[in-house]
Structure 1
Amino acid sequence: MLTRKQHELLRFIQVRLEESGISPSFEEMKEALDLKSKSGVHRLISALEERGFIRRLPNRARALEVLRQPEDATSKPARSTPAANSNDTVAPVRAPQIAPAPANDVIEIPLHGRIAAGVPIEAFEGQSMLPVPAALLGSGEHYALEVSGDSMIDAGILDGDFALVKRTNTARDGEIVVALVRGAEATLKYLRREAGMVRLDPANAAYEPQIYGPDEVEVQGKLAGLLRRYH
């Protein structure tokens, strides 16, 4: 059997998931349950997880999934109707008045070194993980590359940006792609095909297009989004 606070937290998480599809933050849970600190929220979540009522989604910050409800729970929202014995009543949860933050749902994707937005350089120099708001990504597998150079500046892609790339080996003309050149070097460019050749176009008049044979260029992904840090 769950304690009153565990029951309140489980119901609050379920309601928020039904309303927005995003689990509440620890701060929102703390306020909703009138707890003094977030450590109390951590303890409640751990207890619910151990008992099989919720689980934490991997590679997502604070993302929770409700697996089941207590046997005495119903699908109807909690009401404020008084009961005969107040000690046996689960108090209704006060929903916070702040809007859910879209960035609450965060996914970690592989960060593969630096990629040139100018002259091709070796890509995939190593791997770490980069936390990215899920709202920036669509379906499919993604990875990130740190941009080096200024040849895509007119497309709004700056040196030091993080290119969020959807992994694919196909792309349409005019799309910005990660192109692997001669199996060893990678670059971020507009993809064009003409006269049986592959042209990689920069977005900076100071750079010339790069033209290769069709067997010299392999599409490794196409641009899905950008992250920029301001120092």
Structure 2
Amino acid sequence: MLTAKQHELIRFIQQRLEETGISPSFEEMKEALDLKSKSGVHRLISALEERGFIRRLPNRARALEVLKQPGDATPASRKAQSASTNDNVVDLRRAPAARPTPANDVIEVPLHGRIAAGAPIEAFEDYNSLPVPAALLGPGDHYALEVSGDSMIDAGIFDGDFALVRRTDVARDGEIVVALVRNEEATLKYLRRENGMIRLDPANGAYDPQVYRPDEVQVQGKLSGLLRRYH
């Protein structure tokens, strides 16, 4: 049998996975269970892991998978096995198809700094990382940039958003790219080629396109997604 705290924790983890697709942090688990320290959360997680209720996904930040959950009906294939112990446990890997399967993989993506959605500003070197749900990223190598400015608001990109960018040095006309201008400034814009020149178009009528020679612009990635924090 599980202790009251173990039961409460596994319910909380499963609820957060179903609501957000991301495992709760240890701080969130500590607060939800009204524990005094994170060491108590570690002990509960280890006990649940040893009993086969959850497992930690390797090489993922904040990634827990619920394997089975107390309090539900036991699947038919396990009735005989569990009758003697009266575990009353369901294996979530055999749950009905209608039950949502949380995408709880989280990948730490390098956060390179701020990028302009306006006049170009300097793009900084790596100084941090950003946890991103793997479902938001496609194949390839990715990094993140914090958006500064409002020149891409008509494309749904706002000041303070985090642009998720797939590394590439090629792009088609009309794609939103990270463009390094004159090897020193970076900006987020629509890429267009016109009369032998490179035009970087904003998505805000208050801003004018920026036109450069091809040798002045280097594509450093294509926009693949956005993260937004609500305060």
**Which interval holds the TM-score relative to the shorter structure?**
0.5 to 0.7
Does the aligned pair in 2 maintain the 1:113–1:123 contact within 8 Å? yes
Q: Aligned residue for 2:46?
A: 43
State the alpha-carbon separation in 2 of the partners of residues 169 and 150 from structure 1: 25
CA 63–139 in structure 1, closer or farther in 2 if over 3 Å, else same? farther
SS of 2:154's equivalent in the other structure is: helix
Does the aligned pair in 1 maintain the 2:171–2:219 contact within 8 Å? yes
Does the aligned pair in 1 maintain the 2:120–2:187 contact within 8 Å? yes
Q: Aligned residue for 2:78?
A: 79
Structure 1 residue runs of 4 or more that deviate by more than 3 Å after TM superposition? 23-26, 37-41, 44-49, 89-93, 95-103
Which runs of 5 or more residues in structure 2 are unaligned? Answer: 3-20, 25-39, 68-75
TM-superposed CA distance for 1:118, in Å, is 0.5
CA 125–91 in structure 1, closer or farther in 2 if over 3 Å, else same? same
CA 59–83 in structure 1, closer or farther in 2 if over 3 Å, else same? closer
State the alpha-carbon separation in 2 of the partners of residues 137 and 190 from structure 1: 20
Q: Aligned residue for 1:59?
A: 60
Which runs of 5 or more residues in structure 1 are unaligned? Answer: 6-22, 27-36, 67-76
Q: Aligned residue for 2:90?
A: 94
How many residues of Structure 1 are paired with residues of Structure 2 in the alignment?
A: 189
Q: Aligned residue for 2:109?
A: 109
Q: Aligned residue for 2:132?
A: 132
TM-superposed CA distance for 1:126, in Å, is 4.0
CA 101–117 in structure 1, closer or farther in 2 if over 3 Å, else same? farther
State the alpha-carbon separation in 1 of the partners of residues 171 and 146 from structure 2: 21
State the alpha-carbon separation in 2 of the partners of residues 82 and 157 from structure 1: 54
Could you list the per-position Cα deviations for residues 153-201 of structure 1 after superposition, in whole angstroms to 9, with x for gaps in the alignment?
Answer: 1111111111011111111100000000111100000000111111100
TM-superposed CA distance for 1:42, in Å, is 1.9
CA 130–46 in structure 1, closer or farther in 2 if over 3 Å, else same? same
Could you list the per-position Cα deviations for residues 122-171 of structure 1 after superposition, in whole angstroms to 9, with x for gaps in the alignment?
Answer: 00244211111111111111111000011101111111111011111111
CA 178–24 in structure 1, closer or farther in 2 if over 3 Å, else same? closer
Q: Aligned residue for 1:186?
A: 186
State the alpha-carbon separation in 1 of the partners of residues 103 and 43 from structure 2: 23
Alpha-carbon RMSD across the aligned residues, in angstroms, is: 3.8
Normalised by the length of structure 1, the TM-score is 0.68
TM-superposed CA distance for 1:58, in Å, is 0.9
